[in-house]
């Protein structure tokens, strides 16, 4: 991994040093922060490829750091949580965390997760987003908002298309209903989650045999996944 700048926010010296040593050996550039406020300061003055963020930190906790970072950046965030702590997945995804790991984890596993998160991040961060998406005989033109299957036009409502294009631009990433309401409908809060479920149902019906590209992640939300 070339030029990947990691911001590691972790208060336990032993764990922080272990992760730093391992990542540096793997060729990553690692900046350390021993608490949330130092982490946020470092985040504000430099740019990072990915953030590794402990949940339980003295002072400002990891959740708050995550929320602060998301106010200004889409940088991938992997939350680190201690064994025995009940990690609230839903809450983490709502705050915009990309993944999480429970301690103790092997550094090897951490690197695998980092690579996965960085890989899928590329699709959405790429500035020259493709305007045509093709998968087998499913064809989507983002600019003309046209969808065809086997060359036949698929009729869908504007919101179905918005939802579909959001998923296509953010593959393999799980979104909560709240996040989808926010991103696709623009509701800040107070939206009805059933709106999302109804549209996912309609979208799947429109996609016919490609319906399974919209995957239900039980207890969390939905994701777009192809080729499995």
Q: Which stretches of the chain bind Ca ion, using CB under 5 A? A: 11, 54, 56
Minimal distance, residue 103 CB to Ca ion, in Å: 9
The verdict on whether omega for the bond into residue 45 sits within 30 degrees of 0, i.e. cis, is: no
The span from the CA of 93 to the CA of 90, in Å, is 5
Looking at the Cβ atoms of 20 and 173, the one nearer to Ca ion is 20
Select from 202, 139, 144, 198 the least CA-distant residue to 168.
139
In the sheet with 77-81, reading across from the earlier edge strand, the strands are 29-33, 5-9, 50-54, 77-81, 99-102
Looking at the Cβ atoms of 105 and 185, the one nearer to Ca ion is 105
Minimal distance, residue 102 CB to Ca ion, in Å: 13
Minimal distance, residue 167 CB to Ca ion, in Å: 34
Instruction: Please answer whether residues 87 and 102 qualify as being in contact, where contact means their C-beta atoms are separated by less than 8 angstroms.
Output: yes
End-to-end Cα separation, the chain, in angstroms: 25
Minimal distance, residue 155 CB to Ca ion, in Å: 52
User: Cβ neighbours of residue 134 under 8 Å, at least 6 residues apart?
Assistant: 140
Looking at the Cβ atoms of 11 and 162, the one nearer to Ca ion is 11
Minimal distance, residue 37 CB to Ca ion, in Å: 14
The span from the CA of 145 to the CA of 166, in Å, is 12
Looking at the Cβ atoms of 54 and 160, the one nearer to Ca ion is 54
Looking at the Cβ atoms of 1 and 56, the one nearer to Ca ion is 56
Looking at the Cβ atoms of 11 and 160, the one nearer to Ca ion is 11
Minimal distance, residue 26 CB to Ca ion, in Å: 23
Handedness of CA 127, 178, 192, 207 (dihedral sign): positive
Residue number, nearest CB to Ca ion: 56
């Amino acid at each position: 991994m070339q030029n990947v700048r990691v911001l590691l926010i972790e208060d336990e010296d032993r764990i922080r040093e272990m992760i730093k040593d391992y990542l540096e050996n793997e060729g990553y550039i690692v900046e350390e922060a021993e608490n949330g406020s130092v982490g946020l300061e470092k985040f504000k003055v430099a740019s990072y490829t990915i953030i590794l963020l402990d949940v339980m930190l003295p002072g400002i906790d990891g959740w708050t750091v995550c929320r602060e970072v998301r106010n200004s950046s889409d940088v991938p965030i992997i939350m680190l949580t201690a064994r025995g702590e009940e990690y609230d997945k839903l809450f983490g995804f709502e705050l915009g965390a990309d993944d999480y790991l429970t301690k103790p984890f092997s550094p090897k596993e951490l690197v695998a997760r980092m690579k996965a998160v960085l890989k899928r991040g590329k699709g959405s961060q790429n500035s020259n987003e493709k305007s045509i998406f093709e998968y087998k005989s499913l064809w989507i033109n983002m600019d003309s908002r046209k969808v065809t299957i086997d060359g036949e036009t698929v009729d869908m409502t504007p919101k179905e298309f918005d939802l579909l294009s959001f998923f296509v631009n953010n593959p393999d990433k799980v979104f909560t209903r709240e996040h989808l309401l926010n991103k696709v409908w623009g509701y800040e809060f107070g939206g009805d989650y059933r709106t999302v479920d109804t549209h996912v149902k309609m979208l799947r019906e429109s996609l016919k045999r490609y319906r399974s590209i919209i995957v239900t992640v039980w207890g969390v939300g939905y994701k777009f996944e192809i080729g499995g």
